[in-house]
Structure 1
Amino acid sequence: MFIAIDGVLNASDVAALKGAAETLSFADGRATAGKIAREIKANDQALPSPELEAIQAKVTAALMAHPVFLSAARPKAMTKLILSRYREGQTYGMHVDDALMQGLRTDLSFTLFLNDPESYDGGALIAADTAEERAFKLAPGELILYPSTTLHRVEPVKSGTRFCIVGWVQSWIRDAGQREVLFDLDRAIAEVHAREGKSALLDTLTKTRSNLIRMWAA
């Protein structure tokens, strides 16, 4: 399940974070890549600093307060976020994310966009499956969430600079199909509650959701 989530950051937060990102020091992104990925990875990643930690904390808090992200990901833990920069000519070839990162199993990957898509040419995130490739180049403050089992790449940036924040989630619900069932159930519960308030149907739906989580959580 691929989910584009808007409103993770508002316009003022995006502007502040992007301004802060532009002042950071960066290093070759291949330093954090595996043996094969180093051959196809060409980007920059922000070096550790108090300023980067402030950005990471701000984004992590925003994610953990966003109802759609929480419903879709059911996060048990998250890796430390990475702030990436792609300048002209930089790219990241087709790859799949490592199964284990920072001691966590990676169930879901996400990219949070910080630039206006019109401010840089190229640089779309391309996700591939057996049927097609899908391109994502979202507005600033929007996020694409997708299974970490997905082959994906970043197209070369032809002009401008692409800033994004990437991270990985270990979910309470390991199975992607089960996460989708719970996500759909969350939406159904919200709709029933908005339409009729507390009711016998709402009680049954919330009971079902809780019991499914008990069965599936790990």
Structure 2
Amino acid sequence: MLITIEEFLTRDEVARFRRQLDAADWQDGVQTAGALARSRKRNLQLADDAPPAISLGNEILRKAGSHPLFVSAALPRRIHPPRFNKYCDGGGYGSHIDSALMRLSDAGATIRSDLSVTLFLSEPDEYEGGELEIEGAFGVQSVKLAAGDMVIYLASNLHRVTPVTQGARLASFFWVESFVRDDGERTILFDLDQAIQGVTPAIGANDDNLVKMTGVYHNLLRRWALT
């Protein structure tokens, strides 16, 4: 699964995010890297407890929880609080796979990282390099989206950020534990949900076959969901 969501943030929202991030206190991103990733990671990050990280992260969480396409694709059970990073001056992040289990210190819980999410906060023409490269079953996919756009992909995929040779790449990133752990099952549900939404305007919400299709969706979700 690799799904992009265009205009997750509006232009005005991106501008407001950028004003706060431009004034923020950035730290060496290696502080949050695991032992194997330390030699591969060269970027800047906001501390998790920095005021803009908390306020902007909470705003992303609120939007994600009510965004139809995000919910349809991720079926989120729990979401790791969003983090923020900056790549510049040749910084990048070599090939790696995100940790499978992540501790939520404030909640005293641990989440399983099924999906990784990157929300781009810089326009593509503001920097050179900085592509998010994701290795999947069909080869390497290179992702470099407009500011405010989001990509959702499997946390189990090898991925990297190519070095930023000019300008700066700002982004938010986080992880999702899905109610449906299996990617194949989650993809079937996403495709079925999108098909239902696509035909509803043409045939009407009261169509008997549409009601049956919706029932199939919920019965599959009932079968596959982890609670």
Residue type of the partner of 2:114?
D
The AA in structure 1 aligned to 2:212 is: T
Q: Distance in 1 between the 2:138 and 2:209 partners? A: 39
Aligned to 1:148: 155
> Which residue number corresponds to residue 36 of structure 1?
36
Counterpart residue number, 2:178? 171
Matched, 1:114 2:121: yes
Supply the AA of the counterpart residue of 1:58. E
SS of structure 2 residue aligned to 1:61: helix
Displacement of 1:148 in angstroms is 0.6
2:215 corresponds to 1:207: yes
1:8-41 Cα offsets, whole Å, 9 max, x none, are 1000000100111111111111111111011100
1:196 aligns with 2:203: yes
Report the Cα offset of residue 212 of structure 1.
Answer: 0.6
Structure 1 residue runs of 4+, over 6 Å off?
none
The answer to whether the Cα contact below 8 Å between 2:53 and 2:83 also exists between their aligned partners in 1 is: no
- SS of corresponding position for 1:51: helix
Cα offset for 1:150?
Answer: 0.4
Measure, in 1, the Cα distance between the counterparts of 2:178 and 2:137: 25
* CA-atom RMSD in angstroms: 1.0
Residue 133 of structure 2 corresponds to residue 132 of structure 1? no
- When the two structures are superposed, what TM-score results if normalisation uses the length of structure 2? 0.94
**Gap regions ≥5 residues in structure 1:** none
Where does residue 86 of structure 2 map in the other structure?
85
Normalised by the length of structure 1, the TM-score is 0.97
2:106: which partner in 1?
A: none
TM-fit CA distance, 1:88: 1.4
Q: Please tell me whether the aligned partners of residues 119 and 149 of structure 2 are also in contact (alpha carbons under 8 angstroms).
A: yes
Q: Does 1:185 align with 2:198?
A: no
Aligned mates of 2:96, 2:79 — CA distance in 1:
20
**In structure 1, C-alpha distance between the alignment counterparts of 2:55 and 2:22, rounded to whole Å:** 14
- Tell me, what secondary structure is at the counterpart of 1:41? coil
Deviations 1:182-213 (A, max 9, x none): 11111111123111111111110111111111
Residue 158 (structure 1) shift: 0.4
Task: Summarize deviations over 1:75-112 as a string: whole Å, max 9, x none.
Answer: 00000111001111101000000001121000000100
For structure 2, which runs of at least 5 residues remain unmatched after alignment?
A: 104-109
Distance 1:52 1:164 in 2: 12
SS in 1 for 2:23: coil
Query: How far is 1:131 from its partner?
Result: 4.5
The residue identity in structure 2 corresponding to 1:208 is V
Aligned partner of 2:141: which letter?
A: R
Q: Kindly provide the amino acid, as one letter, of the partner of residue 35 in structure 1.
A: A
Amino acid at match of 1:98: S
- 1:60 and 1:99 map into 2 onto residues whose CA distance is 21
Q: Take 2:9 and 2:137, find their aligned partners in 1: how far apart are those partners?
A: 33
Letter in 2 for 1:205: M
Matched AA of 1:216: W
Q: How many pairs align?
A: 218
